[in-house]
Structure 1
Amino acid sequence: MYKLTDYLLAIRTTGSPPAPAGVKTVDLVPTGSDDVISATLGGLRASGLTAADFRSRAIFLAPDGPAGLVTYAALCGFSGRRVDAYAGGTVLAFSRLGDDGASFPDAGRPSEFLLWAQVGGPVADGIPTVHLGSAGQEMVSPQAATVIRYAARLRMVPPDSARDALAMFVLVAALRRRADDRFPFLSTGTEPVPVGKNAPDQGIDLERLRQEAVRYRQELRIARRGADIVPPVPLSPHDRRIAEANGVDVRTLLRRLGSSADEEDMWHCPRPRRHSNGDERPSMKVYENGRARCHRCDAERIGPVRLAVDVLGVTPDEAASFILDSDRVVDPRAA
């Protein structure tokens, strides 16, 4: 069970609860634009967040109700992964969940192209409407999984609870996953019957927001490449230790994380539970610069410290201690 004090960075928005003492806080407050997506992206740019901030353990402090889903969707797009959240007095460890919803069986691909559908809320006029089960019931029926997974456009009407709304959003996005999670429209369920794939006024297009946040991260990366060179600053003992751990051969770490390679030097991902087939066919590639990347689990190439953080669920300091001060070998299916 994770606690708020386990995190190094807390991201707040309008109406969010305060962060615990000692936890760095960043406020992401939408700008004054009338367009929700533009306002949210403006708030993201003004917040000063960078992709590097998500290398440490970060959490989103959700305000009451489902309105925080918009900010949360932007954070997921910008960070390139699901972000943990705090709602209803509980830490929701979304970053530890499997990467797709393939474990939920569906009723088969629809015989006809499904353009629009809705999940949650009142039955919508003119489009299929499905619901997710509550506690003690089947969470996702095969029929609901088919509609959520194959609809080209999906409206989602969330529950009033911030905690339940976030859980529903993550599940729906995972069910719709292809290369990445696919986000639905945030809907009230009262929008007009959609006509065509790009029908207006269907709610907030969270998938477009995700893609715009991804592009903003790429802009920052390109800008860093053209930055002026400044005199190097001596590393602190703390940063030197992290750098030393990152200099360890990532193959050595992979072996200690229970991984192995095939004849083509492709490695089994040490996060097999995130793969529908347990990563029976190796999906992790090791690069010459000491970085590695699983095509399903990682948005970019990562070093030993980030890999250990993600696999073991520890802080960067704890990951460095595991790499440098221990020879322990872990079972990837229990990590």
Structure 2
Amino acid sequence: MNKLTDYVLAIRTAGSPPVPNVAKTVDLVPGEGDAITSVINGLRASGLTPADFRARVIFLAPEGISGLATYAALCGFAGRRIDAYADGTVLEFSRLDRQAEAFVDAGKPSEFLVWAQVGGPTAEGVPTVQLGAGEQGLVSPEAASVIRYAARLRMVPPDTAREALAMFVLVAALRRRADDRFPYLSTGTEPAPVSKEDPNQGIDLEAVRREAARFRQEFRAARKGAEVVSPVPVSARNRRLAEANAVDIRELLRRLGSSPDERGLWYCPRPGRHSDGGQSPSVKVFGDNRARCHRCDPEKAGPVRLAVDVLDITPDEAANFILNSDRVINMCAA
């Protein structure tokens, strides 16, 4: 189970709890406009960039359900689920099964469902299903079919932030196609829908996700139009770091005390960070000479970065270690 101190970046919104001991916090406060526009405007004003989500990021949820639209925007902007802190608990949503295959449905309904509802009181004119008790929300095959196959789904979440977020992530995963498919955030009291695109059914969290994903694409488009400048000579220091990063990372793992199992997974050289003391192999080596422990690393790491993290040394010291050298680079000349 992760702790708040395991995260590099915490994202707050209106009503979020204070968070100590996190390296960086960013405020995402919804701006003016309708429910969708205000959240996206808040995202734009926050200063967040896609690069921020390469680190370990957590969303600090306010009490109740008011943070769901903001969380949906963050997932769309990040291009993945992010973890959340709600009601005093870290919720590790990024590690949940993406397909929700554990829940078997009863097959496609006999009639095409334009609208359906999950949670809340039975809605007039809208097929309504419930999730069972428990943090993961037990799902019957019949309920799974309605949630999975309805063209539009209203979700009436529980009142607490923790349970509301857990329900939202589960429902979105059940509806997943290429990506998680988000429901409408509903009170359950909206009038029966009159069309597939009825705007009066709550907040369309899928529209929030898509708008946030479009905002992310703007950063990519800006990079494509970047000005081409003359190349800068590579410094001696950077050449040495590149040389160290070219060393086979499997050789480095062995020097750090690791070894592979019969499946090719390696034992983590940071066993103290594992609840089982590193008894289970958790490091995967990739073809680009990088490796990642699913417990310790937010993303793949090359030899220098891995040595820095394991040995708690500087990048230059890591290069010396990898290259079996005591060479000192003149930083001024470099």
Map of 1:85 onto structure 2 = 84
Matched, 1:195 2:194: yes
CA 1:59–1:138 in structure 2 vs 1: closer, same or farther (change >3 Å)? closer
Corresponding residue SS for 1:67: coil
TM-superposed deviation, 1:304: 3.4
CA 1:58–1:115 in structure 2 vs 1: closer, same or farther (change >3 Å)? same
TM-superposed deviation, 1:244: 7.6
Distance 1:6 1:163 in 2: 19
Corresponding residue SS for 2:66: helix
1:245, 1:304 within 8 Å by CA — same for their partners in 2? no
Map of 2:275 onto structure 1 = none
Corresponding residue SS for 2:162: helix
Q: Which of 290, 308, 331 lines up with 1:304 in the alignment?
A: 290
Map of 1:31 onto structure 2 = 31
Distance 1:87 1:5 in 2: 15
Distance 2:31 2:164 in 1: 23
Map of 2:123 onto structure 1 = 124
Map of 2:204 onto structure 1 = 205
Corresponding residue SS for 2:84: strand
Backbone CA RMSD of aligned residues: 3.4
CA 1:164–1:246 in structure 2 vs 1: closer, same or farther (change >3 Å)? farther
Map of 2:311 onto structure 1 = none
CA 1:111–1:37 in structure 2 vs 1: closer, same or farther (change >3 Å)? same
- Identity among equivalent pairs (%): 64
Map of 1:48 onto structure 2 = 47
2:30, 2:39 within 8 Å by CA — same for their partners in 1? yes
For residues 271-319 of structure 1, what are the alpha-carbon distances to aligned partners after superposition, in whole Å with 9 as ceiling and x for unaligned?
Answer: xxxxxxxxxxxxxxx99xx4xxxxxxxxxxxx936xx2xx513235995
Distance 1:156 1:233 in 2: 56
Distance 1:321 1:250 in 2: 5
Corresponding residue SS for 1:66: coil
Distance 1:317 1:146 in 2: 35
Map of 1:10 onto structure 2 = 10
Distance 1:137 1:178 in 2: 20
Higher Cα radius of gyration: 2
Could you tell me which runs of 5 or more consecutive residues in structure 2 were left unpaired when the two chains were aligned. Answer: 254-258, 266-285, 309-334
TM-superposed deviation, 1:5: 0.5
Distance 1:50 1:244 in 2: 30
Map of 2:295 onto structure 1 = 313
Aligned length: 278
Corresponding residue SS for 2:67: helix
Matched, 1:226 2:225: yes
CA 1:111–1:251 in structure 2 vs 1: closer, same or farther (change >3 Å)? farther
Q: How does 1:1-335 map to 2 (within 5 A)?
A: 1-33=1-33, 35-135=34-134, 139-229=138-228, 258=263, 290=288, 304=290, 308=292, 312-315=294-297, 319-320=301-302, 324-325=306-307
Distance 1:29 1:233 in 2: 43
2:290, 2:300 within 8 Å by CA — same for their partners in 1? no
2:15, 2:63 within 8 Å by CA — same for their partners in 1? yes
TM-superposed deviation, 1:214: 0.9
Distance 1:121 1:156 in 2: 8
For residues 93-145 of structure 1, what are the alpha-carbon distances to aligned partners after superposition, in whole Å with 9 as ceiling and x for unaligned?
Answer: 00011111122011111111111000001110001101100039970011110
1:245, 1:324 within 8 Å by CA — same for their partners in 2? no
Distance 2:105 2:227 in 1: 53
